[in-house]
Amino acid sequence: MVRLPRVCPVGIPQHIIQRGNNRQTCFASEDDFSAYLSWLKAYSKKFDVAVHAWVLMTNHVHLLCTPKAENGISQMMQSIGRQYVRYFNYTYKRSGTLWEGRYKSCLVEAERYLLALYRYIEINPVRANMVEDPASYPWSSYQINALGKVSSLCTPHDIYMRLGADQFERTQNYRGLFKSHVETQLLDDIRLAANTGMALGQDRFKQEVERLTGRRQRPQKRGRPIGWRREEC
């Protein structure tokens, strides 16, 4: 089956998921996490991609990014993938594939869903019962976005910057987002969009993306179309 080209409009955020093949471990040591983040930093700069949030779990990765140049995210992810697989195979004396095919991604309506995705990504270690507080997990962007830790990798999105007039106010308001649970419907919407590659947003946003890209962004209705059965001659 021919693979469709990625939909990657400049300036529209994307939620990206990269999983280990058969959910195998991709990060087995602190050096592994550090290596991936170092290449994420290098290639995001090289291909002009703003990285807003991330979490590295043992067998998958979540990223929230905005491309500033055509095909920036595809080039970034391909470069990281190749470099990291070479490193991982050499380190652990293995061969073969590491990732589960191509990474998954979806476009995100920033005004309504961006901060929800920040939270969805950074709360992953808590949902997985790895830590009780997202601040305790060192391989995510939470310490940067919520606690003000300095980072040359993280680029705050304009929506994040609106949380306050200064860093203290922004981080305080950002931490407040984590005091409530992510709604079940919102979780379902995020997961559906990520798994299908369709845009995460309201109908108007999806329609705009369809016009911009020429690609369908809403599931087709099941069943036969109305009036499909012809009358017998």
Give yes or no for a contact between 37 and 56, defined as CB atoms under 8 angstroms apart.
yes
Query: What's the residue count for the chain?
Result: 233
Q: Which ranges of the chain have pLDDT less than 50?
A: 1-2, 225-226, 228, 230-233
Predicted pLDDT of residue 44: 98
Predicted pLDDT of residue 233: 34
Predicted pLDDT of residue 224: 54
Predicted pLDDT of residue 215: 67
Predicted pLDDT of residue 195: 87
Predicted pLDDT of residue 231: 45
Which amino acid would we find at residue 25? Answer: T
- Tell me the pLDDT tens digit for each residue of 95-104: 989 999 889 9
Distance CA 2, CA 188 (A): 29
- Tell me the pLDDT tens digit for each residue of 28-70: 999 999 999 999 999 999 999 999 999 999 999 999 999 999 8
Predicted pLDDT of residue 210: 82
